[in-house]
């Protein structure tokens, strides 16, 4: 390669905006599925309301876009475009059993990570190590701890199964997604003060967020005992 070509900028694509993506919009997926280079498949946005928690990764809840465009091994890391060629997501996984169920990381999440990635740094993600659920009590639903992972920050801080989390850093929460969103928004190593209702008493628990890369749990199985998704290479 001569010096002139070496200095040419790499090809790039414009980034779209997550809030402009709607269910039913066209999706175009580019990649090298099964080694077949420069493959293009077409589909639609099947759902915007998916998360990693629904795909079997119950210890974290990152938003995902579901598409019915064909997705296979070799598509991971490839762009998902809208009909005008803007990047609206990055393919990450597909359903292990079933057809036409693929998932992409939304473009706004990618945009947030880009400065670190372009400077050669890793992107730390905070977690505390709980699976949560909504439970009805006295006619109202509450965010309740369903599972505490062994050795996790939550376990070390003393969070327990059936604890009801009512506040995060003095801010009231009513749904477990609010708790997960608060965790994701904080830098690794941040101390979170949780107000917890345990039985008839209220108590405070301080949890220090950790890098999710320290987590080495296998993917939980579906109710049928099988993984729900496969993360594509």
* 98 in the same domain as 156: no
Structure tokens at 180: 């997960």
Name residue, tokens 């402009």: 20
pLDDT of residue 16: 95
Q: Is residue 231 part of a domain?
A: no
Q: Domain holding 71: CATH number?
A: 2.40.10.10
**In the predicted structure, residue 12 carries a pLDDT above the cut 90:** no
* 112 in the same domain as 12: yes
Contact between residue 42 and residue 27 where contact means Cβ atoms under 8 Å apart: yes
Among the candidates 100, 123, 146, a domain finishes at: 123
Q: Domain holding 200: CATH number?
A: 2.30.42.10
**In the predicted structure, residue 15 carries a pLDDT above the cut 50:** yes
* 17 in the same domain as 116: yes
* 104 in the same domain as 191: no
* 175 in the same domain as 159: yes
Angle CA 84–94–225, to nearest 5: 160
Q: Is residue 70 part of a domain?
A: yes
* 154 in the same domain as 85: no
* 94 in the same domain as 19: yes
Number of neighbouring beta carbons within 10 Å of residue 135: 15
Bigger pLDDT: 64 vs 50:
64
Among the candidates 65, 95, 123, a domain finishes at: 123
* 92 in the same domain as 149: no
Q: Is residue 227 part of a domain?
A: no
* 88 in the same domain as 56: yes
* 132 in the same domain as 118: no
pLDDT tens-digit readout, 80-128 = 999 999 999 999 988 887 789 999 999 998 898 888 888 888 888 888 9
pLDDT of residue 216: 52
Name residue, tokens 């639903």: 141
* 133 in the same domain as 110: no
Residue 212's beta-bridge partner residues?
Answer: none
For 185, the domain range is: 126-210
* 13 in the same domain as 119: yes
Structure tokens at 89: 């997501």
User: How many domains, the chain?
Assistant: 2
pLDDT band at 2 (very low <50, low <70, confident <90, very high): low
Among the candidates 123, 142, 171, a domain finishes at: 123
């Amino acid at each position: 390669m001569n010096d002139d070509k070496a200095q040419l900028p790499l090809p790039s694509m414009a980034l779209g905006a997550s809030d402009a993506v709607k269910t039913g919009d066209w999706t175009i997926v580019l990649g090298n599925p099964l080694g077949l280079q420069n493959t293009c498949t077409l589909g639609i946005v099947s759902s915007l309301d998916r998360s990693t928690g629904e795909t079997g990764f119950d210890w974290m809840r990152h938003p995902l876009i579901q598409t019915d465009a064909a997705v296979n091994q070799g598509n991971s890391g490839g762009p998902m475009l809208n009909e005008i060629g803007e990047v609206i997501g990055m393919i990450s996984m597909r359903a292990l059993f079933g057809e036409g169920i693929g998932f992409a990381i939304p473009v706004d999440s990618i945009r947030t990570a880009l400065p670190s990635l372009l400077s050669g740094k890793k992107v730390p993600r905070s977690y505390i190590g709980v699976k949560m659920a909504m439970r009805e009590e006295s006619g109202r639903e509450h965010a309740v701890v369903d599972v505490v992972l062994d050795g996790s920050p939550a376990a070390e801080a003393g969070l327990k199964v059936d604890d009801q989390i009512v506040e995060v850093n003095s801010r009231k929460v009513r749904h477990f997604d609010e708790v997960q969103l608060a965790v994701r928004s904080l830098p690794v190593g941040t101390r979170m003060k949780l107000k917890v209702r345990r039985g008839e008493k209220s108590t405070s628990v301080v949890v220090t967020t950790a890098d999710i890369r320290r987590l080495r749990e296998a993917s939980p199985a579906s109710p049928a005992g099988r993984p729900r998704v496969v993360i594509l290479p």
